[in-house]
Amino acid sequence: MSTVYGTDYQINRKSGATYYGLGGTPYDITLDPDATIVTEVGCGEGSRTIAAQKITEVRPKISWNMNVRKLQDYILNNAMISGEGAVPSHDLAVKIGTEYHLLTGCKVNTCKLTIRQKETVKAAIEVLAKDRSAGSSWTFAKATENAMWKNALTTLSIGGSSVTNWSEAEMGVDNKVIQESLGTDIKPTEIGEREAIYSGYILRTVNAATLVPDVISGTQKTVIITLTDNQTVPVAKTFTFANANLKTSRVNVRGLEIVWERIEWEAKGLVVS
């Protein structure tokens, strides 16, 4: 496993001879072969004798965090996918230090977007691949737009009620991508996905009613989040998570007459408009 903290790393989506940026500045890149080593001890050959040992499977994956500058095209077209079985396969060119890697047959497994009061909008992305081969240097394509901050969040509502006193919000998808090794190859032969789960949370302060009654009664709510990016012509995208199931926890702050409430939610579907 290789983890790098610094400036000497690059990731681009590769299509033919063309390279595309990811819409932000990647950092904390981790490239993991995820190998499975199987050891068998032979019967009757002595308790400390290894009869067989072999790497039986490798499942290449890469993850990174990113300061988000624009939602298009990688996050919208490759990660936050609404259609079941529609996660697109793509290739990634990766530079880590002096190493160049080409990951092919990639699919985004998880993507989380986090908005906080005093930070840029962050994305945490994990990608599973079918294969890894040696890459080569290329002209790196990077996002040049300004980073997105908390004012990028222009709509945040639960059940039609606007949430204005938030301190942190997150939304994401788990595409349930799987890698299958078949035949004699130790690398994945097939890569696909199961039914996705969409989730997130909101941390807010409240001085009146919380969502505790709705949670106890099992009332589903629609969560709506709108983000506007920093392209020359800003692009606003609304993420609608209908029929979300809610969980909530709360902490009273003594002497301030306020309550911190963490609202977690899960939904089965997503509509991006």
Expressed as residue numbers, the domain containing 115 is 2-37+55-272
How many domains, the chain?
A: 1
Question: How many Å apart are CA 233 and CA 80, to the nearest integer?
Answer: 21
- For range 134-145, the mean pLDDT: 87
Tell me the C-alpha to C-alpha distance, in Å, between residue 93 and each of 19, 192, 206, 214.
8, 21, 46, 46
Cα–Cα distance for residue pair 106/63, rounded to 1 Å: 12
Q: What is the 3-state secondary structure (H, E, C) of 80-107?
A: CCCCCCCCCCEEEEEEECCEEEEEEEEE
Segment 53-110, tens digit of pLDDT:
767 677 889 999 999 999 878 999 999 888 777 899 999 999 988 889 999 999 999 9
How many other β-carbons are positioned within 10 Å of the β-carbon of residue 62?
23
Residue 46 lies in a domain: no
Nearest residue to 150 (alpha-carbon basis) of 113, 123, 120: 120
List pLDDT tens digits, range 84-97.
Answer: 778 999 999 999 88
How far is it, in rounded angstroms, from Cα 250 to Cα 68?
A: 30
Token pair, residue 111, equals 């993507």
Residue 267 lies in a domain: yes
Average pLDDT over residues 1-15: 69
47: in domain = no
Q: Compute the average pLDDT of residues 97-124.
A: 94
Report the distance separating Cα 222 and Cα 267, nearest Å: 9
